[in-house]
Structure 1
């Protein structure tokens, strides 16, 4: 399912226009992104939790040349599914 399919699904299930569903989806994505940028987490009970984790700096290898490279530390998004989502699968 891509973004367009998801918008169509939201519009159908919520009985709203595709434009309104698109705005709602963009608002959700924007809210999650903004909260994660601040370093907070977003919990949707039954669905899951979005959080930011820190990945330490490490060394890696360039697969083409085999040369050792340094990979910088980074903040990465993480999703932990909730109990209801796990049981649904």
Structure 2
């Protein structure tokens, strides 16, 4: 799913202009990102939960050369589907 797809769905359902729908889609995505940054989690009822997890520094292999490479510690976003979404899919 892309932001353009989200904007087109909003445009059809709200019967608004493409510019307004694009602005609404951008605001929606920005607010989700802000929520993840500030609280570390975001839940959409009947869809699922997004959480921010810290990853440890580790060693990996370069697939092209096979040489060991150091990977820095960081953060990643995980998603857990709700039971109703699992049932529907």
Regarding TM over 0.5, the answer is yes
Q: How does 1:3-82 map to 2 (within 5 A)?
A: 3-82=3-82
CA distance in 2, matches of 1:70, 1:42: 31
Please give the alpha-carbon distance, in whole angstroms, between the structure 2 residues aligned to 1:25 and 1:78. 21
Q: TM-score, normalised by structure 1?
A: 0.84
Cα separation, partners in 2 of 1:34 and 1:13, compared to 1, 3 Å: same
**Where do 5+ consecutive residues of structure 2 fail to align?**
none
SS, match of residue 38 in structure 1: helix
Cα RMSD for the two superposed structures: 1.6
How far 1:3 sits from its partner (Å)?
2.6
**How far apart are residue 39 of structure 1 and its match?**
4.1
- Between the two proteins, the alignment pairs up a number of residues equal to 89
